[in-house]
Amino acid sequence: ELGDVYQVTTRRQGPFPARIADVGVVKDLGTHDIDLTAWVTQQSYTSVAARTAYKSGRQHEDLVAVVGQLSGGAVTSHLVNWLSPLKERVTIITGERGTFVADTLTADLTFYANG
């Protein structure tokens, strides 16, 4: 329905889960968005750059921003953190015919067609 995919953006943020002690947000949460993006687009990553931050005083990173490019040319952006009081799980896929917005907390999928 989208035609060529131009961009995939994800936001996965919320408060720190007490159950996690041995890894940071990259391994616990970021891997899900990277895997989801590759699966949905059926493309592999050709490049990735990231920045992490340690803001809460814990041993592992609690914030990461990842930018990448897929084998078909699409650009990706993934924002993940354990610092926000707002819990958010959103994936936005933009293509030549419009945009899909998936909210996996509410199980909503919305398509916005280009005019």
- Dist. CA 21–CA 36, nearest whole Å: 24
- pLDDT tens profile 57-83: 899 999 999 999 999 999 999 999 999
CA-nearest of 69, 98, 101 to 3 is 98
CA-nearest of 84, 89, 93 to 103 is 89
For the whole model, what pTM was predicted?
0.92
37's enclosing H/E stretch is helix 31-41
Tell me what pLDDT residue 25 has: 95
- pLDDT tens profile 82-114: 999 999 999 999 999 999 999 999 999 999 999
CB-CB neighbours of 70 under 10 Å: 20
| Mean pLDDT, rounded, for 21-36 | 94
Per-domain residue ranges of the chain: 5-113
DSSP secondary structure letter of residue 29: I
Class of domain 5-113: alpha beta
Both tokens of residue 51? Answer: 């920045």
Q: Is the dihedral of CA 36, 34, 92, 14 positive or negative?
A: positive
